[in-house]
Amino acid sequence: MTAAGDGPWLDDAAGRLVRPFTVSNGRTRPTVALDLMSQVMATGATPLGYLGPEHEQALDLCRAPVSVAEVAAHLKLPAVVTKVLLSDLVDGGALTTKPPEFHHNPTDRALLEAVLDGLRRQL
């Protein structure tokens, strides 16, 4: 249960009232190498140091393995800000990370065409 005012600061007309980089204290570089497809998962350990509300939200999302891109989408934050938050949690021992596993070259033309065909079928 959350008290009034514990949620994100939003205004229907203006959107988020707290600037995204305020969430990461102006930091734009994560301490851990993460890309959008990196998988993160909670370790179950209590994080070290201060956790802001966005850190806690991110940690809740990571109970099962999830990609950095998915966390950013759920938090409605830019990817770079999300990477900083997640790296804070990795540094604090609350998250573990692993790079994405590619069975194919991610820039393989056949793979990209298959993705494009799938997207076209969805539209």
List of domains in the chain: 22-121 (1.10.10)
- Residue whose entry in the numeric block shows the structure tokens 């140091």: 49
- Side chain identity at residue 95, one-letter code: L
Nearest to 59 by CA among 43, 73, 37, 48: 43
**How far apart are alpha carbons 117 and 44 in whole angstroms?**
40
Average pLDDT over residues 42-54: 85
Q: pLDDT, tens digit, for every residue of 81-106?
A: 899 999 999 999 999 998 876 655 66
pLDDT reading at 67 higher than 70: yes
User: How many beta carbons lie within 10 A of that of residue 52, not counting itself?
Assistant: 14
Inter-residue long-range contacts of 51-58, CB under 8 Å, 24+ positions, other chains counted: 52/23, 53/6, 53/8, 54/23, 54/85, 55/85, 55/88, 55/89, 58/82, 58/85, 58/86, 58/89
In this prediction the pTM is 0.65
Looking at residue 18, what DSSP letter applies? Answer: S
- Side chain identity at residue 87, one-letter code: S
